[in-house]
Amino acid sequence: MKKIISLVLLVIGFAGNAQSSLPQGATDIAPLLIGEKIPNSTLKSIDGNAVSLKSVLDKKRTILVFYRGGWCPYCNLHLAALGEAEKELLDLGYQIVAISPDAPKNLKVTEEKDKVNYLLLSDSNGDLAKAMGIAFQAPDKYKSILNKGSDGINNHFLPVPSVFIVNLDSEIEFEHITPDYKHRISNDLLVAAAKSLIK
């Protein structure tokens, strides 16, 4: 019995450490750098199906976007703006993939609300955001919002809004990371960066 209790306490301890080991704030993160590879991760589609990120990135050069959730008005503005640049980016040979902690059913709400044509994926447990080094401890005021948005899976982390341009080898060629969630990359800068990377 003592062994079982010790094991339970050990597991609880690891879970607590995993959460407390997240950076305290958005400015404390240590994101992956240009030249590093995007780690593979299993995400969920709008329909709730498992999706291998690597299989998506292998198809085309990718504009990979991380946003806080469909509940965030600044994220909705950014997603809508990306839609306006989508044709130009597609013509350059890119695809757009946007990832958030939202549960699949809430991705569907965002897709319809923001008239999104590109791929939305769910990272509710935060495995990818944490591996990317862009996750941080959510302030208490966001925890109930995150819990609802993720369908009860996440109430402890937020991703810093980020945009990565990724090549067919899953390598980061450009990144724009904004700890101040009210500021996002402009379409002009994103398209210019995307054009500059086409060889």
Q: What is the pLDDT of residues 6-29, one digit of tens each?
A: 333 333 333 333 445 899 999 999
Residue 85 has what pLDDT? 96
Residue 103 has what pLDDT? 97
Percentage of the chain exceeding pLDDT 70: 90
Q: pLDDT at residue 34 above 50? A: yes
* CA 25/CA 140 separation, integer angstroms: 12
Residue 114 has what pLDDT? 76
Q: pLDDT at residue 134 above 80? A: yes
Residue 87 has what pLDDT? 95
Question: What is the rounded average pLDDT of the residues 49-66?
Answer: 98
116 vs 153, residue with greater confidence: 153
Residue 116 has what pLDDT? 87
Residue 7 has what pLDDT? 36
Q: pLDDT at residue 161 above 70? A: yes
The C-alpha angle 14, 156, 124, rounded to 5 degrees, equals 95
116 vs 68, residue with greater confidence: 68
Nearest to 145 by CA among 55, 75, 68, 42: 68
Residue 3 has what pLDDT? 43
Q: Are strands 94-100 and 61-66 parallel, antiparallel or unpaired?
A: parallel
